Amino acid sequence: FSILTSISWTMNIEFPYPFNQFLNFLAFIQLDFLDTISASCIDATLGIYSNIVLITSLIPVALAVLILLTYLVRVAVIGRGTPEKATARAEASQQHASAFLLLSYLVLPSVSMTQFRGLNCVEFEESGHAYLRVDTSVWCDRESDEYSTL
């Protein structure tokens, strides 16, 4: 699904009406919360695309660390020694591994799409310069500080 939505955005093509409506209907699967609400309404620095890439990349990492810490606390509370505790530890391990896999399955499409959009430049023939497609204030050049941070 995310490949289909990224193709239409990257290649700047529009699918036929019924299929395009279907993709729009399923767009909630991407879980792109910063795109849903205007991040710059919260703070002006959140409107800079390099910050959006950083935030959308770090939120899943923070959630994964939270899952790991929850697992470690849970295993410490369960303890060791008896077969019942070993079974409970194995069950906790399975539950937290499933939570981690679910997290990665849910956030990978939107995070990778956000990161790849930070590399997509469009060149304007009039000026001969290329600018970032999602944020035309960023000049796509190796000497551009804003582009090099992406």
CA distance 86 to 53: 41
CA distance 121 to 126: 15
pLDDT tens, 44-84? 666 678 888 888 889 999 999 999 999 999 999 999 889 99
List CB contacts of 64: < 8 A, sequence separation 6 or more. Answer: 100, 103, 104
Decide: helix, strand or coil at residue 37: coil
pLDDT tens, 3-13? 666 666 666 77
CA distance 139 to 83: 62
Confidence grade of residue 42 (pLDDT, cut at 50, 70, 90): low
Distances 36 to 39, 40, 41, 118 between C-alpha atoms, Å? 8, 12, 12, 18
Bigger pLDDT: 144 vs 126:
126
Instruction: Name the pTM for this structure.
Output: 0.70
pLDDT tens, 80-102? 889 999 999 999 999 999 999 99
User: Which helix (H) or strand (E) segment is 122 a member of?
Assistant: strand 121-123
